[in-house]
Amino acid sequence: MRVDGILFDKDGTLFDFNATWVAWVERLIARWAGDDPARGAALAEAVGFDPARRRFHPGSVVIAGTPEEAAAALVPLLALPPGEIARILNGEASGAPMAEAVPLAPLLTRLRGRGLKLGVATNDAEAPARAHLAAAGVAALFDFVAGSDSGHGAKPGPGMCLGFAAATGLDPARVVMVGDSTHDLHAGRAAGMQVLAVLTGPAEAHALAPLADAVLPDIGHLPDWLET
């Protein structure tokens, strides 16, 4: 079926997940744990991070959850209200140095040159998402950017996907949702979209393939897929 629009997840899709977020979580753990190794280990476990391997577990709340869900996981360990934890998480996230999964500007420019509408749907908050796109120099290439706090709900619900279709006037069936997690694929499918998985996040192909129309190594393979 013809594709008129592409809706991207952000972390693990536009940006390589571990290359971006490992340093971020290590800074936060060091900030909150101080010189207490046991506290640091408990904080890492709460957010699904393996400090020894410097990798997130596939089921980590940081991977597909919202900032509020990550904050809730940390509440038992921090003497802070969840709203304050979420504020800190979002503030630190806005300044995280993002590692592009592939060179984004040329790829996105090429896709727009095909007449495609482009969007971002992330379970991150909208403000950090826009900051990350601006830092990469690609914010102007997107027709739609939504986070979990933008009023469409969070993935795996279909709200952000349907919001993109409504904002661009596209038939959801002619949109492809591209993501690195099962949340992304469930959201796109629930919205009636085509769904593609990429392997630039923590999830492995065997977990994504049953839910996706195709699994690509990264979004750099999108132009070739569109020709098939």
Please report, for the chain, the start and end positions of each structural domain, with discontinuous segments joined by +: 5-16+98-227, 18-94
Three-state secondary structure of 71-101: HHHHHHHCCCCHHHHHHHHHHHHHCCCCCEC
pLDDT of 1 over the 80 cut: no
Q: Is the pTM of this model over 0.85?
A: yes
Task: Give residue 79's pLDDT.
Answer: 85
**How far, rounded to the nearest angstrom, does the alpha carbon of residue 144 sit from its chain's CA centroid?**
15
For residue 177, the cross-strand partners are 7, 195
How sure is the predictor about 32, in pLDDT bands with cuts at 50, 70 and 90? very high
Higher model confidence: residue 17 or residue 39?
39
Could you tell me what percent of the chain has a pLDDT over 90? 82
pLDDT digits over 50-66, tens only?
Answer: 999 998 988 888 887 88
Task: Give residue 59's pLDDT.
Answer: 83
Helix (H) or strand (E) holding 106: helix 104-113
Q: Largest alpha-carbon pair distance within the chain? A: 56
Dist. CA 81–CA 88, nearest whole Å: 11
pLDDT digits over 72-131, tens only?
Answer: 999 999 989 999 999 999 888 888 888 999 999 999 999 999 999 999 999 999 999 999
Higher model confidence: residue 17 or residue 134?
134
Task: Give residue 176's pLDDT.
Answer: 98
pLDDT digits over 175-227, tens only?
Answer: 999 999 999 999 999 999 999 999 999 889 999 999 999 999 999 999 999 99
pLDDT of 166 over the 80 cut: yes
Which residues of the chain form beta strands (DSSP E)?
A: 5-8, 49-50, 55-56, 117-121, 144-146, 175-179, 194-198, 214-216
Written as one letter, the residue type at 134 is A
How sure is the predictor about 170, in pLDDT bands with cuts at 50, 70 and 90? very high
Contact 113, 141 (CB under 8 A): no
Q: Helix, strand, or coil here: 197?
A: strand
Task: Give residue 64's pLDDT.
Answer: 79
Q: What homologous superfamily does CATH list for 5-16+98-227?
A: HAD superfamily/HAD-like (3.40.50.1000)
